[in-house]
C-alpha cells in the first residue's frame, strides 16, 4: 500500500468496503505516467456479494416494490446531484483517462438528461389488455424488469457509457452491478456516493472493480445475472457472449469500429476538414466511432489532404486539464505501445506517412503517453491500418473515383458502427445512409450524440441499441397473464 495515493473502496449493498482479498491495484494518470490512486482488486467473492445484493434488492427488497413514480423521482434527484458535482466527477475522470477536461465536462453535465428522460418514462411503461379469441377470458400483459443487470464498460468514456445503461435499467426497475475498466474505476466509485445520497435502497447499484478475468468472468457467468450490457472491444465481447450462452443471458454488445468518412467532390471542404479532424483526433482517437478512414474523391484529394494536414499540424498537445489543449495523452501505456506498433505496420505496408508517425516529444507533453496526430495517405483498404481498430490518433486517407466505389470501400470492413458523409447533393445525402452498413450515419456532421437517438452497431460492432425510447425494451420482459372467469 502506498499512503500518498488516494485509496478507494468498492460499493456493495450501499456499504463501502475493501475487496474480499484486501488487495489493491494502482490507477495511473496518463499525463504524468504516475499512479494516483489505489483500487480494490475484486474477485469472484465480491462479484457474488454484489449480485446477491442486487438480486435481493429486486426480489425481496424495497426497490422491487417501489412505485415507478418514486423510481423516477429518485432518478431526477440523482440527476440534480450530478449537476452539483459535475466538476469533481469530470476532474477524476480526466485524471484516470487523460481525456480533455473541456470534453469530459460537457459529457458529465449532459448525463442528467438521461436520468430526466428515462426517469420520466419509469411510470409510462404499460402492459396491454389483449382482447383474445376465446370466451370468458381476461388477458393482459405486464412489463417487468429483466432482472439483475451486469454492466461492463471501457475506459474511454466511463461515466457516459455507464449512464447509457443505468438510466434505462433503473427506469425499467432493474438492479445493477457495474464493472468499470481497471484503468478508470475512480469516477464510478465517486458516482456511487451520489446514488447513496440520492436515496436509492441498498443493492440497487453496486460497483465491483478489477480485471476481466477476476471480475468480468464471474460476473458474466453468474446464474443470478439476467442481462449483460457491455461496451468494449471485440475479444472481450466474444468471451462475454460465450460466458452468457450457458445461462441464456440477454445481451447488448457495443463493440469496436473502423468508421469511414466519405468526402464527396461537392462537399464544403472547410466543414469536411473540421469534421475529419474532430472525427479522428477528438479523445486522441480513442473512441469507438473514430472516423479512422477518410475516403476522399480523387478530384479534391490533394486539396483536402493539404488542408487536413495543415490543420492537424496546429493541434495543441499537452495537459488535458488545460482548457486550450486539443490533443491529450493516450490513456494507457499498453495502448500507447499498440498505437506505435500499428504506425510501424502501416509504414511497412507502404502507406505514405504525411504527418506525425511518432511518440510526441514536445516539452508540454511532459512524461505522458503522447502520440503525434498521424496521417497516412494513399492507403489501400486491404492494409491492416485500414482494417483493424487502432484506437489512437491515426487516420488512413484513401482516394476513390465513383460513389458506389466509396460505399463499397466504406462497407469493406468487419465492423459497422458509424459512417460520415460530406456532400451538398440531396441525392448523395439520401442514398448514402441507405448504402452504408453502419448503426449511425452522420451527414455533414460527425460524432454528435443524444439521449434521444438510438446508438449501436451492426456486424462485428455488436448488437442492441442504447439511448432513445427503444433502449428501455432491452431491460424489460413481457409477461402474459390469462384469467378465466
Binding residues vs ligand NAD (CB under 6 A): 152-156, 161, 179, 181-182, 211-212, 216-217, 220, 231-233, 236, 239-240, 254-257, 288, 389, 391, 417, 457
Q: Yes or no: say if 397 and 294 are a contact pair by the CB < 8 Å rule.
A: yes
Pick the closer one to ligand NAD by CB: 264 or 391.
391
Report the nearest approach of ligand NAD to the CB of residue 181 (Å). Answer: 4
In this complex, which beta carbon is closest to ligand NAD, that of residue 152 or of residue 394? 152
Please give the residue whose beta carbon sits closest to ligand NAD in the complex.
216
Minimum CB distance to ligand NAD, residue 130 (Å): 36
- C-alpha dihedral sign at 72, 74, 78, 79: positive
> Grid coordinates in use for 326?
486539443
Q: Which is nearer to ligand NAD, 223 or 350 (CB)?
A: 223
Query: Minimum distance between the CB of residue 442 and ligand NAD, rounded to whole angstroms?
Result: 15
Quickly list DSSP for 415-437.
Answer: --SEEEEE-S-HHHHHHHHHHS-
Q: Residue 386 and residue 413: Cα distance in Å, rounded?
A: 8
Between the CA of residue 323 and those of 100, 103, 164, 330, what are the distances in Å? Answer: 8, 9, 26, 17
Whichever of 281 and 391 has its CB closer to ligand NAD, that residue is 391
Is 93 assigned a catalytic role? no
Please report how close the Cβ of residue 44 comes to ligand NAD at its closest, in angstroms. Answer: 12
How many Å apart are CA 144 and CA 126, to the nearest integer? 10
Which residues share a beta bridge with 205? 176
| Most distant pair of Cα atoms in the chain: their distance | 81
For residues 277 and 312, the answer to whether their CB atoms sit within 8 Å is: yes
Nearest residue (CB) to ligand NAD, 97 versus 325: 97
Q: How far is the CB of 330 from ligand NAD (least distance, A)?
A: 11
Catalytic residue among 93, 254, 372, 389: 254
**DSSP secondary structure string for all residues of 283-317:** GGG-STT---EEEEETTTHHHHHHHHHHHHHTPPB
Q: Which residues are catalytic?
A: 254
Amino acid at each position: 500500500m502506498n499512503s500518498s495515493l488516494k485509496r478507494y473502496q468498492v460499493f456493495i449493498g450501499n456499504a463501502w468496503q475493501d475487496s474480499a482479498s484486501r488487495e489493491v491495484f494502482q490507477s495511473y494518470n496518463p499525463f504524468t505516467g504516475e499512479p494516483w490512486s489505489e483500487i480494490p482488486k475484486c474477485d469472484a467473492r465480491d462479484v457474488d456479494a454484489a449480485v446477491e445484493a442486487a438480486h435481493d434488492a429486486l426480489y425481496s427488497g424495497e426497490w422491487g416494490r417501489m412505485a415507478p413514480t418514486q423510481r423516477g423521482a429518485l432518478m431526477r434527484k440523482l440527476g440534480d446531484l450530478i449537476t452539483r458535482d459535475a466538476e469533481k466527477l469530470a476532474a477524476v475522470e480526466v485524471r484516470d483517462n487523460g481525456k480533455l477536461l473541456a470534453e469530459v465536462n460537457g459529457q458529465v453535465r449532459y448525463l442528467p438528461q438521461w436520468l430526466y428522460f428515462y426517469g420520466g418514462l419509469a411510470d409510462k411503461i404499460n402492459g396491454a389488455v389483449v382482447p383474445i379469441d376465446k370466451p370468458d377470458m381476461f388477458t393482459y400483459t405486464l412489463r417487468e424488469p429483466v432482472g439483475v443487470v451486469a454492466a461492463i464498460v471501457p475506459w474511454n468514456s466511463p461515466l457516459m457509457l455507464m449512464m447509457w445503461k443505468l438510466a434505462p435499467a433503473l427506469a425499467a426497475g432493474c438492479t445493477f452491478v457495474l464493472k468499470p475498466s481497471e484503468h478508470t474505476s475512480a469516477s464510478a466509485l465517486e458516482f456511487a456516493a451520489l446514488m447513496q445520497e440520492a436515496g436509492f435502497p441498498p443493492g440497487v447499484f453496486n460497483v465491483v472493480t478489477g480485471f476481466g478475468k477476476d471480475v468480468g468472468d464471474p460476473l458474466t457467468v453468474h446464474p443470478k445475472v439476467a442481462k449483460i450490457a457491455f461496451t468494449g472491444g471485440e475479444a472481450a465481447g466474444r468471451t462475454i457472449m460465450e460466458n452468457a450462452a450457458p445461462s441464456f443471458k440477454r445481451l447488448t454488445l457495443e463493440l469496436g469500429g473502423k468508421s469511414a468518412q466519405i468526402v464527396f467532390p461537392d462537399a464544403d471542404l472547410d466543414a469536411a476538414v473540421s469534421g475529419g479532424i474532430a472525427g479522428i483526433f477528438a479523445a486522441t482517437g480513442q473512441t469507438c466511432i473514430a472516423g479512422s478512414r477518410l475516403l476522399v474523391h480523387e478530384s479534391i484529394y490533394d486539396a483536402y489532404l493539404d488542408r487536413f494536414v495543415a490543420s492537424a499540424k496546429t493541434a495543441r498537445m499537452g495537459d488535458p486539464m488545460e482548457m486550450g489543449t486539443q490533443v491529450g495523452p493516450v490513456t494507457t501505456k499498453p495502448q500507447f505501445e499498440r498505437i506505435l506498433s500499428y504506425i510501424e505496420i502501416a509504414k511497412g505496408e507502404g502507406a505514405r506517412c504525411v504527418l506525425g508517425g511518432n511518440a510526441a516529444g514536445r516539452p508540454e507533453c511532459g512524461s505522458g503517453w503522447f502520440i503525434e496526430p498521424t496521417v497516412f495517405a494513399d492507403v489501400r483498404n486491404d492494409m491492416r491500418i485500414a482494417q483493424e481498430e487502432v484506437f489512437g490518433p491515426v487516420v488512413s486517407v484513401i482516394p476513390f473515383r465513383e460513389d458506389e466505389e466509396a460505399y463499397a470501400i466504406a462497407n469493406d470492413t468487419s465492423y459497422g458502427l458509424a459512417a460520415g458523409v460530406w456532400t451538398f447533393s440531396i441525392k448523395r445525402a439520401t442514398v448514402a445512409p441507405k448504402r452504408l452498413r453502419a448503426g449511425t450515419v452522420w451527414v455533414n456532421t460527425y460524432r454528435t450524440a443524444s439521449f434521444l437517438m438510438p446508438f449501436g452497431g451492426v456486424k462485428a460492432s455488436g448488437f442492441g441499441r442504447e439511448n432513445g425510447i427503444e433502449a428501455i425494451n432491452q431491460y424489460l420482459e413481457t409477461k402474459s397473464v390469462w384469467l378465466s372467469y
